[in-house]
Amino acid sequence: MTPVAIGTAPQPLAAWRRVLHDGAPVRLDPAARDTVERGAATVAAIVARGAPVYGVNTGFGKLANARIEADDLATLQRNLVLSHAVGVGAPLADATVRLVMALKIAGLARGASGVRWATVEMLGRMLAADLLPVVPGQGSVGASGDLAPLAHLAAAMIGVGDCRLGGVAMPAADGLARAGLAPIALGPKEGLALLNGTQVSTALALTGLFATERVFQAALVAGAFSLDAALGSDTPFDARIHALRGHAGQRDAAAALRALVAGSEIRASHRDCGKVQDPYCLRCQPQVMGACLDLLRAAAATLATEANAVSDNPLVFPDTGEVLSGGNFHAEPVAFAADQIALALAEIGSLAERRVAMLTDGSISGLPPFLTARPGLNSGFMIAHVTAAALASENKQRAAPASVDSLPTSANQEDHVSMATHAARRLADMAENAAAIVGIELLAAAQGVDFHAPLASSPAVERVRALVRGRVAHLDDDRFLAPDLAAAQDLVHSGAVGAALAAALAPVALG
């Protein structure tokens, strides 16, 4: 597999997607070495002069005015890591930890953090050995950076805490030894550079974004599928309607929907029927899904920038020999992006749930009640819809913005924080909920289209119907449905639905 080469140049979202989803190897670009070493030399010069610089030879946070003697600088950095490794809760997934490490390498490789090349190399060697720190998921407020979770990452580098080597949990010291690596001794500022930064929040938000991308694509497909199941009209997708409003996401969603329904025999069979308008869950798909697409694209742009950012503090400028204190560790952009993704997820699931409700209501869809040929004896999709409703409601509650919350920390020195970390961490669960809702819709829509045989849907929809029917049979009589729902959810979660119709979905790419 082609590695992702990380150096001083920014990486596109596609590179981070490969690290997360494909486990692409990460290669530290040797061309970045001079830039990194110039930063480290600047810190060394400051230490030699004895000038007080925050994080180099002072305490941290509220203790920034405490001066640290040269003999204690190594202890200062080690103590910082140990004291800040206070995360709690379930560990982050291995794939997310890999992405955190890759993002941290990207930030350090810019040369503004003042760390040595060997320290950056250590992260690369750990990734190459599949040696991943165990990082508890809770304990960060998203400023000053993701201190607690990143402290667990740094702790593993010095042989403290726990790690997973090839998926097997063990003490970090043992993992390093088995991988042929020695614990590093942190130099001046290095502990702070490793702890400071938004890499955990950003990795979690990217994980959520990439999962939502798959859900969004599958939901557009499911909406086109449901349109034919309910004998709906494609007139609301006409490009002229959306040109008059002008929103890019709406225009692009409509274009994708037109491609998905093109050539449907079912649609042709009722083009001159007397029905005037469809329910909003069918008719307003370009408006709702387009608005979600605009949100997701905005979030993607923010996260693409943040993934390549230097977000620790203070920052080193070798050209002038200065070390400047700022606030790049404040993860407000990530918190806003995570809230945007959460809103989109809630609405994607809400609209899909409404379509499931419409399909199962024979008075609206014209299909057999609850999509079963023998209602009464069979309940069909009655309770599958209840599950969709439960998940949609749960996602609505989780979509409440996290970024508006703040609690002062560090004796009011850090008096406004972003809450980006848990804003981003909720996204994976929300995406799974939405994937389950869309999976239920795929099953319901396939059932509905089956009732229109021998007429076929569009070539695109028929491709997805074959994909669904390859995993789940038509529901003739009631059966144990939980495995069917799980199989359909997996089609969404895995990206199989979107991958099957990549050309039709090209207009709704995130960028």
Catalytic residues: 54
Q: Which residues touch 428 (CB under 8 Å, ≥6 apart)?
A: 204, 207, 208, 211
Q: How far apart are CA 392 and CA 215, in angstroms?
A: 13
Q: Is residue 309 within 8 Å of 198, Cβ to Cβ?
A: yes
Residue 428 forms beta bridges with which residues?
none
d(CA 337, CA 424): 8
Amino acid, single-letter form, for residue 118? A
Closest listed residue to residue 224, CA positions, set 189, 186, 257: 257
Distance of CA 487 to the CA centre of its chain: 22
DSSP 347: H
Q: Is residue 376 within a helix (H) or strand (E), and if so which, with residue range?
A: none
User: Cis (ω within 30 of 0) for the bond into 144?
Assistant: yes
Neighbouring-strand partners of residue 414: 409
Find the DSSP H helices in 20-144.
Answer: 33-49, 73-84, 94-108, 117-128
Cα gap 123→104, rounded to integer Å: 8
The answer to whether 291 touches 347, Cβ cutoff 8 Å, is: yes
